[in-house]
Structure 1
Amino acid sequence: MLADHDHQTCTSVEPTPEGDPGPAGTAAVADAAPVTGTGGRPSTPWWRRWPVAVATVAVLAVVVGVVVGVVVGVAVNQDDSAPAPGPSAEGPPTADPLGADIAGIQAQLKITPNNADSWATLGLDYVQEAKNTVNPMYYPKADGALARSLQIAPTGNAAALAGQAALRAAQHRFADSLALAQQARALDPQNSTIYGTLADAYTQLGRYDDARDAVQQMLNLHPGTPAYTRAEYVYELAGQPDQARDLMNQALAEATTPADIAFCRYYLAELAFTGGDPTEALHQIQLGTQVDPRYPDLLEGQAKAEAALGQEAAAVADYAQLVASVPQPQYVIEAGEYLQSIGHVAEAQQDYTLFDAENTLFTSNGVQLDTDPTLFYADHGDPAKALAAGEAGIRIRPFLEMDDAYAWALHANGRDADALTWSNKALATGMRNALFAFHRGMIENALGQKDAARTDLTTALAINPHFNPLQVPVARAALAQLGGPR
């Protein structure tokens, strides 16, 4: 039976809808009300981060070095028969429990190299370490370790199948992830971690009811932090931020390691920021940084909150550090758009050039970025490229974020009737999302639906008046032309 290796699961799921009926059917979030309990620990949510194809890492390092003067090279050890330890954190080994786990399993495998369970556990650890460190070198290590486990024990190996499911999800291969997780569940139906992976895959495939049910099963089996954070997202998607915040606070209360606490603080900050409260967001980021200053998402949250609060010098410095140290496409775009909004056009263009190079490299090496290029090219003058990215993305990830991005690409190409259909789908779960509401308002305005546009643009600015530094002025101007807020 697969051990409930909670630190390897993907935290926070994208679960289920409430409110207006959506194309995937309706489900009351109350049906998935979490039970109480203790135990477990979270992990970094893969859907907020782009997986980097290992084949592109060395090239990306050159691109980043040329464009922004930063070298982000990663040495990849492909020899999974004797995996190299992951990058160690500064400080004593106890500061990195997962790294210590990896080192311990590696040592054990030198003594018992044909232990299938140890190889499976190592593979799962590598998947999690890739998320924790934003370091793609761990994905081929995970693939090799999990394949080795299945080679040793080709039947009844739920642990390796579950590990492969988590890995495929991290690579945005959601259909593959779902199939593997279902195979693992058939072998080990009492393991909560498997239900977390099922929920992740169901969510990204737009199967929100199935995702909600998987989260509830996870809660029933092991009501710890990974389950609470997934249940939090059920409520967030359903437009119930207060319940979502309560569950994230419960997850925080159960968290035991610096990385876990930082994770919870970051998403409490996200809930505050997306709800229009950058002051509270910055407070949560600072609390997280006190515990784990190396947690990569915290700097993004800090820069975003500082920008919203008008702390320009701090925001510029933090965005520069963020792009230099963690040049994820999402972060690069965010930094560029803030710089553009305050008149630093040349610096913004530098970030945009970097993003375009990243997107080209990823695509040429088999990694399909979806929402980021779709929205970026729609907003920055390349509607044909936006539509191509949107059409590719909606095939592999029919999730509400992709529904919204695809709608915006269709709008950029003048296909507003089609765009409204997809925008409505993105908002069908009841999620309170300022960007989604802005997009629908602008699409409605283009269709001449002035009252609806006025309502949605008012809603967008009411939810979060800082949702995007370039689009907020557009929303305000359009709303003024429509007669002001309603």
Structure 2
Amino acid sequence: MTTFLRRNPKYRRPLLSAAVATALGAGLFLAGGLGLAPWPAGRSDRHEAPPTEQGAHATGADPLSTGITALQAHLRQTPTDAVALGTLGLNYVQQAKSTADPTYYPKAEAVLKRSLAVEPADNFTAMGGMAALEAGRHRFGQARDWARRALAVNPYNSSLYGTLADAYTQLGRYSEAADAVQRMVDLKPGTPSLARASYVAELRGDTATARTDMRRALQDAGGPADQAFARYYLSELAFNSGDPAAALTEADAGLRAAPSYTALLQARARAEAALGKTDAAVTDLTRAVERVPLPEYVLQLGELYQSLGRTWEADQQYQIFRAEQELFTRNGVTPDADAALFEADHGSPVKALVIARRGIKSRPFLDSHDALAWALHVNGHDREALAESDRALALGTRNALFHYHRAMIHRALGDTASAHRDLTRALALNPRFSPLHAPKARAALTAVARGN
């Protein structure tokens, strides 16, 4: 079993010069520019940090926007400063995540390429920026390659190992991801590295270790934003384990530390909906969408409305989701699991399968296998769907939605015993895993138990 608690070795090379860090705000490179943590707030797309306005609203200032403005002014005077260009590119990537505005990705690519043109050999800042950019665009093979190039220049940068770990995870190379996380922890044990260690454990179904590592991440938090970040994922772990009351407690604690940490509103809304506090859930999700209109927030709000019979409001959110997917695609982001599941559940089964097949090529991760399985199922290809569903659960991940999907595939194939087993498992893991699908799972379990 992988451990993430080895002794932290002495740094043999500085990450960035003090002058650069002071003048250019390059601390974003170490903490935020490459992503504070491994995944976002979403039901299936969890490879990068949640867009939380973590520097801005958690502390009452907006250092990211301020840093971008300062870098732009600096580059007007010194347009060939490779480190400034690389840092600006990283900041643009982070701004895309923080605002759910993918138009920052082309801007990031332009300045990162300028940085690499000025300094192509030892420019680990721009190489790391390219890795973060490609991860943001769901091009994980390219993200892995850029992270490797950056680490060849600076093998003592823990954030680069985090980016490499994220890429390996999304490429389905879980042992290599765990090794990269171990190296990250060795170099710099703290919130970003311990959060990734938690995710490694969660993927293999070891939720106890995942919680322990995330508690350590909370203990090591350097400020309100890091505290809120750790609380968010503790809330997620509690919710996914079928304990919405604990999830709500964690989300509330995080919001006390950082009242404007948007991802916590989404987490609190999930818990509230599971606890029957649907008015509060709608209020919190609406606030989250108004702050940061992430597609996964929009989709969650739409499905909550649909579960409440508020069809018109649900359709409005689904229209917004489609528009956002088009915007992301136009700016170079490859649609994958969320887009495929949306089409399978609310749109075109044929389109769902096209998206899912394309997504599995660039991101052969567990979520992508599940999305492909569900897309195949709604198109009537249940034998192939079952193989993909088995791949989604191959690591032992405790995911109620995955088990629900596999149950319905088994049922379509006439295997009622296996359907009963997976439905029971899904509802044991989290009886209120989705306002739409959990009731369907309960109804299906009743029908299967009656022999229907």
TM range (shorter): 0.7 to 0.9
Q: Which residue of 2 aligns with 1:10?
A: 35
Report the Cα offset of residue 315 of structure 1.
1.7
* Corresponding residue for residue 401 of structure 1: 367
Measure, in 2, the Cα distance between the counterparts of 1:130 and 1:180: 19
Q: Deviations over 1:278-302 (max 9, x none)?
A: 1111111111112222222112112
| Ranges in structure 2 where 5+ consecutive residues have no aligned partner | 1-12, 17-28, 40-44
CA displacement at 1:135 relative to structure 2: 4.0
Look up the match of 2:162. Answer: 196
Q: Summarize the Cα distance change of 1:151–1:201 in structure 2 as closer, same or farther, 3 Å threshold.
A: same
C-alpha deviation, 1:130, in angstroms: 3.2
Residue 473 of structure 1 and its aligned partner are, at CA, apart by: 1.5
Q: Output aligned runs, 1:198-347, within 5 Å.
A: 198-347=164-313
Tell me the amino acid that sits aligned with residue 327 of structure 1: P
Q: Retained in 2: the 8 A contact 1:370–1:389?
A: yes
2:199 corresponds to which letter in structure 1? Y
Residue number in structure 2 paired with 1:170: 136
- Equivalent residues of 2:59, 2:224 under 8 A apart: no
CA distance in structure 2 between the aligned counterparts of 1:267 and 1:113, rounded to whole angstroms: 40
CA distance in 1, matches of 2:156, 2:128: 13
8 A contact 1:150–1:160 mirrored in 2: yes
Q: Distance in 2 between matches of 1:45 and 1:403?
A: 14
1:123 Cα deviation after fit: 2.5
Which deviates more from structure 2 when the two are superposed, residues 122-131 or residues 400-409? 122-131
CA contact (8 A) 1:6 1:226 kept: no
Pair 1:260–1:91, CA change in 2 (3 A): closer
* 8 Å Cα contact 1:10/1:46 also seen in 2: no
Match of 2:341 among 375, 383, 386: 375
1:439 maps to: 405
CA distance in 1, matches of 2:146, 2:208: 34
Shift of 1:101: 4.7
CA distance in 2, matches of 1:354, 1:104: 34
Q: How does 1:16-165 map to 2 (within 5 A)?
A: 47=48, 89=56, 95-99=61-65, 101-102=67-68, 105-106=71-72, 109=75, 112-165=78-131
Cα gap change, 1:313/1:183 in structure 2, threshold over 3 Å: closer, same or farther? same
Deviation for aligned residue 1:268: 0.9
Mapped to 1, the partners of 2:196 and 2:335 lie a distance apart of 23
Moved more, 233-242 or 186-195: 186-195
With over 3 angstroms needed to count, the CA separation of the structure-2 counterparts of 1:149 and 1:364, relative to structure 1, is: closer
Give the CA deviation at 1:412: 0.5
Tell me which amino acid in the other structure corresponds to 1:324: E
Higher mean C-alpha deviation, range 300-309 or range 256-265: 256-265
2: distance between equivalents of 1:403 and 1:117?
A: 39
Quickly say closer, same or farther: Cα 1:454–1:140, change in 2 above 3 A: same
Distance 1:150 1:101, change over 3 A: same
**Alpha-carbon offset, residue 99 of structure 1:** 4.8
Unaligned runs of 5+ in 1: 15-43, 51-85
Distance 1:378 1:144 in 2: 35
The Cα RMSD (Å) is 2.7
Q: For 1:284, give the aligned amino acid.
A: E
1:17-58 per-residue CA deviation (whole Å, 9 max, x = no partner) reads xxxxxxxxxxxxxxxxxxxxxxxxxxx9754779xxxxxxxx
Structure 1 contact 434–464 (Cα < 8 Å) conserved: yes
2:421 corresponding residue in structure 1: 455
| Deviation for aligned residue 1:116 | 2.0
Aligned-partner SS, 2:434: coil
The Cα offsets for residues 317-358 of structure 1, whole Å up to 9 and x where unpaired, read as: 223333333332212221111111111122112212222333
Report the TM-score, using the length of structure 2 for normalisation: 0.85
Give the fraction of aligned pairs with identical amino acids, expressed as a percent: 50
Aligned to 2:19: none
8 A Cα contact 1:332 1:352, kept in partner: yes
- Which structure has more RCO (C-alpha within 8 Å, separation ≥ 6)? 1
Structure 1 pair 359–112 and aligned structure 2 pair: CA distance change class (3 A) = closer
| CA deviation string 1:224-252 (max 9, x = no partner) | 22111111100000101111111111111
Report Cα offsets for 1:128-187 as digits up to 9, x if no partner.
343334344543443233223222212222221111111111111111111111111222
Provide the C-alpha distance between the structure 2 equivalents of 1:87 and 1:448, rounded to a whole number of angstroms. 49
Give the 3 Å change call, closer, same or farther, for CA 92–217 of structure 1 in structure 2.
closer
2:436 is the counterpart of 1:478: no
Provide the residue aligned with 2:9 in structure 1. none
C-alpha distance in structure 1 between counterparts of 2:346 and 2:174, whole Å: 32
Query: 1:204, 1:142 → 2: CA distance?
Result: 22
Give me the whole-angstrom Cα distance separating, in 1, the residues matched to 2:225 and 2:118.
Answer: 33
Q: 1:326 to 1:423 in 2, by over 3 A?
A: same
